[in-house]
């Protein structure tokens, strides 16, 4: 089934059978007090509206039978996969691996590393465990997409200017057509969110296209 969604700078034309939803890093460490996001001084509660839109988007794509893939950023307990530049973040506060209210910060298996309950993956949905910002770095993500015949990606998650942006750039370089759902993405800094979206859709859609959830709904007439 052909699917045409109004977007910037031009409509996103894809096939339901070869399109996947990529839900990026909707985990407690970034969305709840006591996690990595808050340890960096951010207002994590500002992302609550994004969680609500992501929940609607997730329900819709499941109903349509799209492939759904979730990414999750986290590190090994011994910190062997953490670059020194990342480990040195937040020198005056809690760092990756330190113990916080949600367990050890950004460490796999800890409470903070779990998905926010409203967006928990189904058992049939794949999880990409990543240590970097982009979903392709150090993972089998590209192989998984190709093995499923995926050509187009709907992208949602946090944060817009970091993990979402990195993933879209990586996907574009690998030939995947990306549509970023603006209100299903978010940043602790609204100005970064808007600038990141403009970067994606500028120059004829240099990294991809940008739309919103209402346009997704309108395209299906549901």
- Pair 57, 213: CB distance under 8 Å: yes
Closest CA to 93 of 163, 42, 130: 42
Annotated catalytic residue, options 29, 54, 130, 178 = 130
Q: Please confirm, yes or no, whether 178 is among the known catalytic residues.
A: no
Annotated catalytic residue within 25, 178, 183, 185: 25
- How many residues are given for the chain? 222
Q: Where are the beta strands (DSSP E) in the chain?
A: 2-5, 12-15, 19-24, 67-73, 99-100, 103-104, 126-130, 152-158, 177-186, 209-211
Is 221 part of the annotated catalytic residue set? no
Q: Which of 163, 178, 185, 212 is catalytic?
A: 163
**What Cα–Cα distance (Å) separates residue 8 from each residue in 12, 27, 110, 142?**
8, 28, 39, 25
- What backbone phi and psi angles, to 5 degrees, belong to 182? -60, -45
Structure tokens at 169: 């750039």
Distance CA 12, CA 111 (A): 37
CA atoms in the 13 A half-sphere facing the CB of 183: 14
**Minimal CA–CA distance to 221: which of 6, 17, 15?**
6
Active site (annotated) includes residue 185: no
Which are the catalytic amino acids?
A: 25, 130, 163
């Amino acid at each position: 089934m052909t699917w045409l969604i109004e977007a910037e700078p031009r409509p996103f034309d894809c096939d339901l059978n070869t399109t996947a939803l990529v839900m990026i890093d909707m985990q407690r460490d970034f969305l709840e007090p006591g996690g990595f996001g808050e340890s960096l001084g951010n207002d994590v509660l500002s992302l609550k509206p994004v969680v609500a839109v992501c929940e609607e988007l997730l329900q819709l794509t499941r109903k349509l039978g799209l492939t759904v893939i979730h990414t999750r950023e986290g590190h090994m307990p011994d910190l062997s996969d953490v670059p020194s530049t990342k480990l040195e973040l937040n020198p005056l506060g809690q760092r990756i691996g330190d113990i916080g209210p949600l367990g050890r910060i950004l460490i796999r298996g800890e409470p903070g590393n779990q998905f926010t309950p409203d967006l928990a993956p189904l058992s049939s949905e794949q999880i990409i465990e990543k240590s970097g910002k982009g979903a392709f770095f150090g993972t089998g993500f590209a192989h998984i997409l190709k093995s499923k015949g995926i050509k187009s990606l709907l992208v949602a998650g946090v944060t817009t200017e970091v993990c979402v942006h990195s993933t879209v750039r990586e996907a574009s370089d690998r030939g995947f057509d990306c549509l970023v759902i603006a209100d299903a993405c978010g940043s602790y800094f609204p100005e970064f969110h808007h600038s990141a979206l403009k970067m994606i859709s500028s120059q004829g859609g240099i990294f991809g296209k940008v739309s919103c959830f209402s346009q997704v709904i309108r395209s299906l007439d549901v």
